[in-house]
Amino acid sequence: MKKFYVTTPIYYVNDVPHIGHLYTTVIADVMARWKRLNGFEVFFLTGTDEHGAKLINTIHNTNRYALQNFCNKMSAKFKETWNLLNISYTDFIRTTEYRHYVAVSSVVNQLFKKGLLFLKEYTGLYCVGCERFYTVKDLDENQCCLLHKKKLLVQSEKNYFFKLSHFKDMLLERITNSKHSEYIDIQPEERKKEIIGKLNLGLDDISFSRTNINWGIPIPFDKTQTVYVWVDALINYLSGIGYPNNKDKFQHYWPTDIHFMAKDILWFHAVIWPAILMGIGYPLPKTIYSHGFFTCNGDKMSKSLNNVISPQYLVNKYGIDATRYLIINLIPFNTDGDISLIDLTVKYNTDLANNLGNLFFRIIKMIERYFNLNLPYVNKPNISLAQKLSTYFKINFCNNINNVKLQKALNTLQHGLSFVNKQIEIDSPWLLYKNNIGSLNLCISSYLQAIAIIAIHIFPFMPTVSQIMWTSICANGNIANVATQYFINNSIIPETGFLPIYGKVKMPGILFPRL
């Protein structure tokens, strides 16, 4: 069986889950669900990043018990949110877990043995918000970090350094040469070019440990230092799939197929992470996808501006599946975008309440009116409309998902819905009801087969709604199994269609009440 290993960043626990975290996580979830439907054995990893100075600054307390308690509480909030949103993660890794400590210690020991770590006295400007050192040229005229707008303080420490500079040419080769057996596909192209440009300017060795931050994993051979929080965090991608003790599991899933994140942390994933992996001799991630940043009504989302949109708020307003749908549709993957709640509601009403929801109810209502909710009887199911949709979706919808163009895929879904609406107008079943019951049965049955195709395709995006549609039309079997068969067979519809000969349609509640 083919495997697919997909990850989200592990989120800092100093913040509550918000719409930015939700975006990355829903995208990863759709890809995980999509690959499962295509017969892949999927490992989908998410989790929380719990060490470092940022956390100490947030709770103003260095007591280990207080810190761990806070992490437990905040990590649980992320888990709750993902469970609420139906995120089908395989495992949730926390950097304060023992299994992670073992993995980090093992990686650090190996790098040390290979001579890639060395002690050095260092003076630099550290941004706690970003958890990284900056040089003056990266800052504004007041020596503030561009992201957090806070004046950075000079810090002087004796740290272990990682010989990042040693990997410059190897990285460039692997990022630019698509024929290389270890090619890393960085998406989108514009950001890949930025990374290459920066790499070409030169690569400095980086600080790999901290002396005065004891909320972290100790350097195994020098307990006066803790591992730099970013190195600690990146190793979650190994510890989360069983490294170093569960060799079978680890070897089965490694390397990562797709790391998802926003552009803010692409450098860590595209440069520092592959260098560490080369240092310990492991294969490199295949694809690194970074998306843009959300702003809210023109402003950066932040607690102080009080404009953070919570996933819970969206779910209360739109429902779970609609939230998943809307979030993907909000911004094109590779650009930044502004979110306005008014636009969200317009999109909800247009795409979901008016198009998908209405089409479904229109068909169910016809069955109620013409057949008292019984499935229309036909000798041979009419799958022509379903076939037309299936072919259209295969070329557009499926290809777009395979290329991680989820928003485009959803646009083609809307097109597909209009095919069905048009066909209903052409057939005019209300006229057939009066004078041609045989044709009426065939038409309505073809709409139901089309609904089955739609339900199958929206499954990775809106699993609950698709399940409701499937069971309402009393389609055969479990939707996930049927969809898997369908996609594995290259989108071939069985001649018998998806419905039993006899059955009673169940009237569901309104899928997407108009707002």
- Kindly list the residues in this chain that would bind ligand MSP in the complex (CB under 6 A): 9-12, 15, 20-21, 23-24, 49, 233-234, 236, 261-262, 264-265, 293-294, 301
Q: Are the C-beta atoms of 6 and 43 separated by less than 8 Å?
A: yes
- Provide the 8-state DSSP code for 144: B
Amino acid (one-letter) located at 136: V
Upstream peptide bond of 463 is cis (omega within 30 degrees of 0): no
State the Cα angle at 387 between 386 and 391, rounded to 5°: 120
**What minimum distance in Å lies between the beta carbon of 293 and ligand MSP?**
4
**Which residue shows structure tokens 């169910």?**
364
Minimal CB distance to ligand MSP: which residue? 20
By CB atoms closer than 10 A (0-12, 13-18, 19+), residue 439 is: middle
**Which residue shows structure tokens 């009801």?**
433
Name the phi and psi angles at 223, rounded to 5: -70, 0
**What minimum distance in Å lies between the beta carbon of 291 and ligand MSP?**
7
| Alpha helical stretches, state H, 12-151 | 19-37, 53-59, 64-84, 98-113
**What minimum distance in Å lies between the beta carbon of 103 and ligand MSP?**
13
**What minimum distance in Å lies between the beta carbon of 9 and ligand MSP?**
4
Name the phi and psi angles at 333, rounded to 5: -50, -40
Q: Are the C-beta atoms of 153 and 126 separated by less than 8 Å?
A: yes
**What minimum distance in Å lies between the beta carbon of 138 and ligand MSP?**
17
**What minimum distance in Å lies between the beta carbon of 226 and ligand MSP?**
16
Measured CA to CA in angstroms, residue 91 lies from 41, 87, 361 at distances of: 14, 11, 38
**What minimum distance in Å lies between the beta carbon of 194 and ligand MSP?**
15
Closer CB to ligand MSP, residue 261 or residue 398? Answer: 261
By CB atoms closer than 10 A (0-12, 13-18, 19+), residue 456 is: buried
Closer CB to ligand MSP, residue 94 or residue 174? Answer: 94
Q: Which helix (H) or strand (E) holds 261?
A: strand 258-262
Closer CB to ligand MSP, residue 45 or residue 417? Answer: 45
> Which residues lie below 8 Å from residue 112, measured CB to CB, with a gap of 6+?
221
Name the phi and psi angles at 308, rounded to 5: -75, 125
Active-site residue list: 18, 21, 127, 130, 145, 148, 300, 303
Closer CB to ligand MSP, residue 23 or residue 370? Answer: 23
**CA quadruple 475, 480, 481, 485: dihedral sign:** positive
